[in-house]
Structure 1
Amino acid sequence: MTELARTDAPAGEHDDRTGRAVPATLRRAAPALLAYTGTRLLGVVVLAIWAAATGKSWYTLLSGRWDAVWYSRIAEEGYGYTLRLPDGSVHSDLAFFPLLPWLERLVSALTPLDAAGAGLAVSWIASLFAAWGIFAIGDRLRGRRVGTALVVLWAVLPVGIVQSMAYSESLFTALAAWAVYALLTGRWVWAGSLAAAAGLTRPVGAAVIAAVWITAAASLLPAGRWRPAWRLAWRLVGRLVGRLAGREHRRMLLGVAVAPLGWLGYVVWVGVRTGSVTGYLDVQSGWRNGFDGGVAFARFTWDLLAGPGFAAGLAMLTGVALLIWVFIRCVRRRDPLPLLVYAGVVLALALTAKGYFGSKPRLLLPAFPILLPLAAALARLRTARAVLILGSVGLASAAYGAFWLTGTGPP
Structure 2
Amino acid sequence: MLTILFLTFFVLLLINMPIAFALGIATAVTLLTDPVLPINSIVTRAFVGVDSFTLLAIPFFIIAGELMNACGITERIVAFARSLVGFIRGGLAHVSIVSSMFFAGISGSATADASALGSMIIPAMKKNGFDADYAVAVNASSSAIGPIIPPSIMMVIYGSIANVSIASLFLAGFVPGIAMGLGLMGVAYYIAKKRNYPAPPRSELPPILGSLKEAALALLMPIIILGGIFSGVFTATEAGVVAVAYAAIIGTFVYKTLSFKLVGTLLIDAAVTTAAAMFLIAMATSFAWLLAWAGFGAAVLGVLGGISSNPTVALMLIVLFILILGLFIEGIPILIIFTPVLLPVIQGLGIDPVFFGVIMVLSVVIGSVTPPVGILTYISCAIGGITISQAMRGLVPFCAVLVFVLFLCVLFPPLVMTVPAIFGN
Q: Which has the higher contact order (CA 8 A, sep 6+)?
A: 2
Task: Mark yes or no: TM-score above 0.5.
Answer: no
Q: TM-score range by the shorter chain?
A: under 0.3
TM-score, scaled to structure 2:
0.26
